[in-house]
Amino acid sequence: MNDPVARRYSAGAMLFHWAIAIAVIWNWRLAENAHHAGDKLQAAAIMGNHKALGITILALTVGRLFWRWTHPTPPLPATLAPWEAKLARGLHILFYVLLIGLPLGGWLANSLSGREIDFFGLFTIPALPVGENKDLGHTIFEAHHTAGSIFIYLIGLHILGALKHTFFDRNGGIFRMLPFGKVPG
């Protein structure tokens, strides 16, 4: 496999990856800003955007999974140690679990609290038909917050791994997910 394009992700995969990455980081910052907002009304407005962006992340992730199932992904670099390959695969699976589970958990917690989700003022996403249980909703919100924090640390690990592979191992690392840069054969 000497074709350098075959060692890169497809343009669609790159687009999904970076759109989701930006949305996740932005959504984390929204949640942090809401937590530190000056009053409840301001916090609620910020959280409204957080929830709508969470639904967007869910939709993008479903699109990314469909793309992944219909377009081949490049093989991992042959220079990876077996433990690195296992860690990479496991982390990617965990990312998909969190990218689907966090928005669904937030939607479920909202639904249990009797709330719909306003999608950036364009339309309303109805509550799931689960009935109202504010205590359970609160518990799920707490789990959502904890999982979101863990997700941010895992993203940091992912970035460190990409940088290690790019600048220390020199195996293409981050350039596999960018349309430029050298991906060695």
- Mean pLDDT across the stretch 42-63? 98
Tokens 């690195």, located at residue: 84
- Mean pLDDT across the stretch 5-33? 94
Please give the full DSSP string across 31-64, using - where no structure is assigned: HHHHHT-SSHHHHHHHHHHHHHHHHHHHHHHHHH
Evaluate whether 108 touches 129 at the Cβ level (below 8 Å).
no
Q: What gap in Å lies between CA 112 and CA 146, rounded to an integer?
A: 18
pLDDT for the residue numbered 1: 41
Which one-letter amino acid corresponds to residue 89?
R
Residue 3 above 80 pLDDT?
A: no
Task: For residue 118, give Cα distances in angstroms to 48, 50, 134, 179.
Answer: 7, 10, 19, 35
pLDDT for the residue numbered 138: 97
Q: What are 148-171's pLDDT values in tens digits? A: 999 999 999 999 999 999 999 998
Domain ranges across the chain: 4-177
Q: What gap in Å lies between CA 11 and CA 158, rounded to an integer?
A: 20
- pTM strictly above 0.75: yes
CATH hierarchy code of domain 4-177 = 1.20.950
pLDDT for the residue numbered 38: 87
pLDDT for the residue numbered 2: 45
**pLDDT higher for 9 or 1?**
9
Q: What gap in Å lies between CA 173 and CA 167, rounded to an integer?
A: 8
The average confidence (pLDDT) of the chain is 94
Residue 130 above 70 pLDDT?
A: yes
